Amino acid sequence: MERISVFDIFKVGIGPSSSHTMGPWKAALRFIKEYATSSGLENIGEIQVHLYGSLAKTGKGHGTDKALILGLSGEDPKTIEPEKIHQVCGAVQRNKLICIQPGLSLSFDPDSSIIFHNNERLPFHANGMRFALRTKTGETFEEVFYSVGGGFVIRQGEENDINGTHLKYPIDTAKDLILWCKKTGLKISEVVFENEKAWRTGEEITAELALIWSEMLECTYRGCHTEGILPGGLNVKRRASYQNQKLIASGPYKNSHEWLEHIKSADHSFKETLNWVSCFALAVNEENAAFGRVVTAPTNGAAGVIPAVMLYYYCFCDNSGMADLYDFLLVAGELGSIFKKGSTISAAMGGCQAEIGVSSAMAAGALTQLLGGNFEKVLMAAEIAMEHHLGLTCDPVGGLVQIPCIERNAMGAMKAITAAYIALASDPHYAKVSLDDVIRTMWNTARDMSDKYKETSEGGLAANIAVNLTEC
Ligand code: SF4
């Protein structure tokens, strides 16, 4: 079985979609880099990219075309400054030229060089893309990649390759995790930390966790302090900033850390707490919709659930600070990887249950450990959260990751918190449904679900809300 690190689940990148933006971006970058290594780029005459399935149907709204331009331009989604995205894409659109290495540009018109095959699908996965290259001497070269959710990319021919890294405590299912916790007496976060040592030293793991948390916090802070209309033409107004202004009772503050201190000392009534959790989640997904820097958790569309629940814990619960937050990420990351192995984290395969449902389950389990629950309660909380997302469809209006996506993150965060408290107040020995049961059910539901509800914008809200996308 595939071995997945916590840092495969949590990756720093650019919005709005891990499968439709990050995946194609990484595929384009990999294609051009590998071709450069094998043959050099000087002899390339022309590049075309063909998109299939869900990538073709909602790729425009999800920024797939921009992601491909950036990848072919050699930009890295982890390090690019978000402002540069519009510069690079704007220049390619205006000049019909793409710079594939310093001093080397190719003719490339996004309107004709990126081809959307709306009615075709490649066999392995709903998010397929084919890169076709012609050299100046007329030779052709093609490669097919699949974006399989959460920013993971597979090249055709590598579908059955597995990352066979040897882990101290191999885990494929929730049942495996239970066995290791019972056998070792370790908490889930401790089991996962030991496994992560297969890839990194203990110091490196802690440094990576700190980076992920810092990116999540800064993303939330930016979202809570940015006003305006989201791009794409739906004219969706950003709300987190307005909500933040209404909720912040005292000020001023100069940075995210001072902001958190204000929130911690603010009114902790039920209503205020609910409003803050929504505000955090909306903030992250407004940033995501605006092509901002976010952390996949496990996807971009669902990137707001986990930061919102972590901030709920940090601001409104008794806690021991950073160490708790790192444990949160370890537990949530492991739960995400169990979902990926047993079902899917791709909306194009499983609808929104695979995005918001999985993120909510990850957050519910992690919060439960931090609030004192043992491993059985952690898994029970994750199961409860997913149980009440089963069948949730993906139907983004106008193909943009805005409606229902942004609010849905707030709902996923609330369900995660509720699931954690239900599990904490329950006896897991009386639970009728295990986490593995619900993961299997989720996968069966995904397979039964019509393609109209799998990130194609052909059903649900997307089919019932008339939109006229007019972007200035
Ligand atoms: S509806 Fe859900 S799965 Fe679909 S794009 Fe929006 S957040 Fe992602």
Q: In angstroms, what is the span from residue 100 Cα to ligand 1's centroid?
A: 32
CATH code of the domain covering residue 35: 3.30.1330.90
Torsion sign, CA atoms 287, 290, 293, 297:
positive
Q: Does 228 share its domain with 138? A: no
Rounded to an integer, what distance in angstroms lies between the CA atom of residue 313 and that of residue 286? 22
Q: Provide the edge-to-edge strand list for the sheet that holds 152-155.
A: 114-117, 44-53, 127-135, 140-149, 152-155
Q: In angstroms, what is the span from residue 304 Cα to ligand 1's centroid?
A: 12
Q: Does 21 share its domain with 58? A: yes
Q: Does 121 share its domain with 220? A: no
Rounded to an integer, what distance in angstroms lies between the CA atom of residue 33 and that of residue 47? 14
In a domain, 163, yes or no: no
Distances (CA, A) of 32 to 101, 106, 329: 10, 13, 33
Q: Does 140 share its domain with 178? A: no
Q: Does 119 share its domain with 51? A: yes
Helix H or strand E segment including 421: helix 405-424
Q: Does 181 share its domain with 320? A: yes
Q: Does 135 share its domain with 231? A: no
Q: In angstroms, what is the span from residue 136 Cα to ligand 1's centroid?
A: 41
Q: Are 402 and 300 in contact (CB under 8 A)?
A: no
Domain that residue 131 falls in: 17-155
* Atom from ligand 1 closest to the CA of residue 299: 8
Among the candidates 155, 185, 211, a domain finishes at 155
Q: Does 265 share its domain with 148? A: no
> Token match 């890295």: residue?
76
Torsion sign, CA atoms 192, 194, 200, 202:
positive
Amino acid identity of residue 291, one-letter, is F
Taking the whole predicted model, whether its pTM rises above 0.85 is answered as yes
- The 3-class SS string of 170-189 reads CCCCHHHHHHHHHHHCCCHH
Please give the structure tokens belonging to residue 436: 């593995």
Rounded to an integer, what distance in angstroms lies between the CA atom of residue 207 and that of residue 219? 18
Q: What is the pLDDT of residue 346?
A: 96
Bond from prior residue into 102 cis (ω within 30 degrees of 0): no
Nearest CA to ligand 1 atom 4: 394
In a domain, 8, yes or no: no
Helix H or strand E segment including 367: helix 356-370
Close Cβ partners of 37 (under 8 Å, ≥ 6 residues apart): none
Q: Does 138 share its domain with 178? A: no
Q: What is the pLDDT of residue 48?
A: 98
Nearest CA to ligand 1 atom 8: 301
In a domain, 215, yes or no: yes
Q: In angstroms, what is the span from residue 373 Cα to ligand 1's centroid?
A: 30
Rounded to an integer, what distance in angstroms lies between the CA atom of residue 218 and that of residue 151? 21
Distances (CA, A) of 282 to 194, 206, 243, 336, 367: 34, 28, 10, 21, 19
In a domain, 7, yes or no: no
Among the candidates 125, 155, 185, a domain finishes at 155
In a domain, 470, yes or no: no
Q: In angstroms, what is the span from residue 322 Cα to ligand 1's centroid?
A: 30
In a domain, 1, yes or no: no
* Atom from ligand 1 closest to the CA of residue 58: 5
Q: How many other CB atoms are there within 10 angstroms of residue 175's CB atom?
A: 13
> Token match 């066999």: residue?
123
Q: Does 374 share its domain with 404? A: yes
Q: Does 148 share its domain with 207? A: no
In a domain, 162, yes or no: no
Close Cβ partners of 144 (under 8 Å, ≥ 6 residues apart): 122, 128, 129, 130, 131, 155, 156
Helix H or strand E segment including 134: strand 127-135
Q: What is the pLDDT of residue 472?
A: 43
Q: Does 43 share its domain with 190? A: no
* Atom from ligand 1 closest to the CA of residue 347: 3
Ligand 1 contact, 355 CB (< 6 A)? yes
Domains of the chain: total:
2
In a domain, 165, yes or no: no
Compute mean pLDDT per 10 residues along the chain, 472 residues long, and list them.
92 94 96 96 96 95 95 95 94 97 96 96 95 97 95 91 87 98 98 97 97 98 98 96 91 92 91 97 98 96 98 94 96 98 97 98 98 98 98 96 98 98 98 98 98 95 82 48
Q: What is the pLDDT of residue 470?
A: 58
